[in-house]
Structure 1
Amino acid sequence: MSVTNKIIARRSQLSQSSRFVADWVIENAAKAAYMTSQELAQEAQVSQSTIVKFTQKIGFKGYSEFKLALSEEIGRKQAISATPLHSGIFADDPLAVIAQKLIKAKTEAMIQTTNALSFDACNQAAQWLNEARTVQIVGIGGSALTAKDLGYKLLKLGITALTEQDSHVQIAVARTLTEKDVQIAISFSGERKEIIVAAEAAKEQGAKVIALSSPNISSANKSKLRRIADITFYTIADEVENRSSAIASRCAQNVITDLLFIYLVQLRDESARQMISDISSDIRQIL
């Protein structure tokens, strides 16, 4: 329990003079952490002996132990507030600033990912997906959300898409794929063990593997997933800082999956128009 929480929890058990000390410390914890007992007594307008009794009443041996615990608590809070929660967002940022920073981080991830696209790779991947008997999409954690979203989209187009989230099931399904099937493996790091095993299993069965992964600076230092995949789409986002969730990387992943979906819609619409045209031509020849 933190020092301030101890004070709040035991405030009702304190004498009136000790309550003055408790209230002052709660309101001025950062300042109190660096005061002598005499200075604190003067600020709270109590005797120095009251300060010692106050610290003992809330569970410390004396003022020195209390002051050390309080200064450590203040230090931890300052470290947390100075650490970005997500892409430059800090604990003390107002909501309006958080909104702007979040939009900036997501926009940058989408722009950089789009700029790194190979449209030849998009065309090839869409062709494989369009012709696939089955499409398996694998992802763990945040990437599983991207996998599930793409799976729903493919199902709308009549493409059989399997998006099991359990890693053991993903690997088992991968072992049932054939050369007529496609696996989409999503891992920002490209090193997630469960995804690597599933991708290897799919590759061994002859299935084509499409990866969504972050790029490496050195082409000689490719991630394991990139080495396995037939096609890799780079998802570029700043995920090196401590953060609450991989928000930017999911935006980067969604840029790729949404683009493939829209391209598949075009392909299937064009195929439908061509089929109608062929049928009409056959009817005219008969007539």
Structure 2
Amino acid sequence: MIMPNEQKAPLVHLANAIGTMSEVSSRVGQYVLANPEKVVHQTVAELAEYTHSGQASVLRLCRQLGFKGFSEFKLALMAELAASERSTATDSDNEADRYGALLKRLTQSMQKTAYALHAEQLLAIAVHMVKARRISVFGSGISGLVSQLVSYRLMRLGLPAQAFQDPVLAHEVMTDVDKHCVALGISESGVTLDTVEFLKRARTAGAKTIAITGRVNSPVAQAADLVLLAVPIEPLTIGGDISPAISKIYLVELLAMAIADLSHAGRQRNERSKTP
């Protein structure tokens, strides 16, 4: 449990502890990490509804982090967000500090993404991809550019991956998938309709569906069998900013490492089986 004198930064402590939490607590925690500005204005009942959990689960998470209740947790969360805003404003006083502020935001996003990651889920996704007959990757906008990088990375690992940014073409491809295929949808907001439809069609066809998104409790996440959370940049970026892609690329590299490890282990087993 977090000690009282460590409660000044609940997001930091939540990110550190989330990997050891139960499935329900982890789901609530991931939502808080992805939507802290919303949580400070929500009631216990609203947070429970948004995370498909119970009010008791929300209160249990607060106690796990060392807070007496939800109100105390929200007060600490508001203080942390206010401190982050002041830090950003101070860091932006001159060009050098602005560069440092951006680096800090990117680093924090990747750190929180790492803390929210479940190694078992990453491995499960890697296994599905290694076994897949076809891997279809879809994204639009900045997520579309990330989908191209994902496809390239997987192909270099010897996997049958293809990226799509045109929703019409992506939906046509979904007519030829089956249970031996994988569909990966990428969306920062988690509400991109074309990405939701892509995953729903793939799931209906029997494919394993995976999402990389910045919103754990979103339509895109709900349309996927497995979800990787890319914790958003804070504060929120403006249109055209490519920095949200960084945490997604980080996840892709972690996934590539897991796939490479599986492939290496497979080759070793084959070599041992050939040894007389």
**How does the TM-score come out when normalised to structure 1?**
0.62
In the alignment, what sits opposite 1:149?
149
In the alignment, what sits opposite 1:206?
206
Distance, in Å, in 1 between the alignment partners of 2:125 and 2:157 is 16
Which structure 2 residues correspond to residues 123-162 of structure 1 after superposition, within 5 A? 123-162=123-162
Aligned length: 189
Which structure 2 residues correspond to residues 246-265 of structure 1 after superposition, within 5 A? 246-265=241-260
Q: CA deviation at 1:129?
A: 0.5
Which structure 2 residues correspond to residues 129-278 of structure 1 after superposition, within 5 A? 129-216=129-216, 222-238=217-233, 241=236, 243-278=238-273
Q: CA deviation at 1:127?
A: 0.5
**How many percent of aligned residue pairs carry the same amino acid?**
23
Q: Closer, same or farther in 2 for the Cα pair 1:241/1:165, shift >3 Å?
A: same
Deviations 1:70-105 (A, max 9, x none): xxxxxxxxxxxxxxxxx9489x85432222111111
Which AA in structure 1 matches 2:128? W
Distance, in Å, in 1 between the alignment partners of 2:267 and 2:187 is 34
Distance, in Å, in 2 between the alignment partners of 1:187 and 1:246 is 14
> Unaligned 5+ residue runs, structure 1?
1-86, 217-221
In the alignment, what sits opposite 2:47?
none
> Does the 8 Å contact 1:109/1:248 carry over to 2?
no
What is the SS of the residue equivalent to 2:232?
Answer: coil
In the alignment, what sits opposite 2:116?
116
Shifted more, 108-117 versus 229-238: the winner is 229-238
In the alignment, what sits opposite 2:99?
99
Q: Closer, same or farther in 2 for the Cα pair 1:269/1:243, shift >3 Å?
A: same
Q: Closer, same or farther in 2 for the Cα pair 1:244/1:102, shift >3 Å?
A: farther
> Does the 8 Å contact 1:89/1:98 carry over to 2?
no
Which AA in structure 2 matches 1:223? S
What is the SS of the residue equivalent to 2:176?
Answer: coil
Distance, in Å, in 2 between the alignment partners of 1:247 and 1:272 is 38
In the alignment, what sits opposite 1:57?
none
Q: Could you say which structure has the larger radius of gyration?
A: 1
Which AA in structure 2 matches 1:271? G
Q: CA deviation at 1:242?
A: 5.1
> Does the 8 Å contact 2:147/2:164 carry over to 1?
no
Q: CA deviation at 1:234?
A: 1.1
**How does the TM-score come out when normalised to structure 2?**
0.64
What is the SS of the residue equivalent to 1:138?
Answer: strand
What is the SS of the residue equivalent to 2:211?
Answer: strand
Distance, in Å, in 1 between the alignment partners of 2:135 and 2:128 is 9
What is the SS of the residue equivalent to 1:196?
Answer: helix
Distance, in Å, in 1 between the alignment partners of 2:261 and 2:237 is 40
Distance, in Å, in 2 between the alignment partners of 1:125 and 1:241 is 28
In the alignment, what sits opposite 1:60?
none
